[in-house]
Amino acid sequence: MKNSIWLKALTSALILSFLVSFGLYYFSDRFFQAKNKQTMIKSAELGTSADNADVVLPIGKNVPDFELADVLADVEINRRLLADTKTVKIINFWASWCEPCVEEFSSFARLVKDYEGEISFYGVGQDDSREESKTFIKAFNSEFKDISNIYFLFDVNKKTAKTYGVLALPETFIIDANGKLLKRITGFFDWDQDQVRVFFNKMLSTKRSGL
């Protein structure tokens, strides 16, 4: 009798545990999908048309160069992407209205700091005005402060985003020192993950050895 009661209690506990786990998985999955859907809807504001929706930059090929205004510079300064031939480059297309962009932004600061002098970060803003982008960046000022090779740029008329075929935000491109595309990540990504460090450690070790 006691064994029967114990078995029923154990079965009930297992069923409850399964339902709770499934519920957490289901709703977290739905939440992630909702964020991605939001970026896709909002990406219409980029002005990207069907004419260039099929732009796909081939992995291993050189990316288009660009020269954009530095949002935070005290004087008018333009930063050119391929002028930098020493560091690996991360180009991140973002906007202040993009919630997933906000969520992943801080992790870029930690990543560049871990590889300071070897990785450069180019945050290409897609807001309607430079002031909107500037306000957004200043909110992260303490996290990006005193880290070198970080540039926040403003993409006038979303021209660069169109050239790169950006259809959603955030969108990130990893480019080697020679300007070749290594990876393209569409949507939110956690740049604090161990696998990210493994990727950069392997890539940079090859670069350091001159292979």
Q: How far apart are CA 86 and CA 29, in angstroms?
A: 40
Tokens of 209: 């050895």
CATH class of the region 46-209: alpha beta
Cβ(170)–Cβ(136) under 8 Å? no
Domain boundaries, the chain: 46-209
* Secondary structure class of 73 (helix, strand, coil): coil
- The amino acid that residue 127 corresponds to is D
| Distance from chain centroid for Cα 193 | 13
pLDDT digits (tens, 9 = 90+) for 126-184: 999 989 999 988 888 888 888 889 999 999 889 999 999 998 899 999 999 999 999 99
pLDDT digits (tens, 9 = 90+) for 85-140: 899 999 999 999 999 999 999 999 999 999 999 999 999 999 999 899 999 888 88
